[in-house]
Structure 1
Amino acid sequence: MTIWNVSPQPVGSPESAALLREYLVDVADRWYLLHDGRRCTLEEIERHLAEMRGDDPGTLLVARYGEERAGCVGLRRLDARTAELCRMYVRADRRGLGGSGALLRAAEETARAWGAERIVLETRRDLVEARALYARHGFADVAPYKEADAYSEVWLGKELG
């Protein structure tokens, strides 16, 4: 039986960079297909990657399915009490195998180790699978906790208790 292993990785490592690029292509394609009826271009991906590099997730947790890297999630401290989840991603061919749950559990454990009492995130309305996943794991609507950008439509949070 293949199992999931999750561990922190340097954000700038080749492995992390490849997963973050896959994540960005996945969410950008969905955005552009919904709003413009097309996939994102290489130039748009490069521009978004440059923007993303300036928005350090703090800690990047990488999930492996067996020996294969298959997903990631970013986690950063917003304040002494709050951690923010960002860039949750599992490769399409590994979805439905428990990787998202493994990543969320690892992110929550990391946040607790930092002393955080709650974890928050922002997402888009069209990412319905992600929103359902978060709901299954106890996340609920919260007030916006930072200024919205073009992609901020839903804010969720969970007390870590």
Structure 2
Amino acid sequence: MARRLRPVGLDFAEVAPVRHVFTAEVAAAPEAVYRALAEQVEGWPRWFKAITLARPTDGGAGREIRLAGGVRFHETVMAKDPGQRYAYRVDETNAPGMRALLEEWLLTPSGTGTRVRWTFATDGPAPFRLALAAARPALGRSFRSAVRALDARLATDRPAGNC
């Protein structure tokens, strides 16, 4: 059964009790990465293996996400800054223990590519926080794998000569 989470603002990415921040460099331009994140939501399962379904809701103001293992999220998009930032918070989930969750993707030009920074900001009771601390390495691996897959996918979309 879905549970309603505490609504949080964008500042939660900086003040959450549990924050995991990961970065990676990709060859794709910030605009291309942003399009894949914010405008091509249904394509997430093609490059983020943990996601089995992603679809925009409410005319793009929200998202429905399903993860391998059956976890579901109903989200509100909090920031859509083309080429720079994409952020969303979870409003409802069937995941146990979680009280609040916000994810933020920051995109910064880096040479001819992009530096991608993902912040996973959450809150829950002490056992949940401990479990998330232990899950940090797995979250990092999942992020790095997803970003590599996204970069490879975007490379096939780039016209020749624009590498």
TM-score after normalising by structure 2: 0.30
Higher relative contact order (CA 8 A, sep 6+): 2
**Structure 1 length normalisation: TM-score?**
0.31
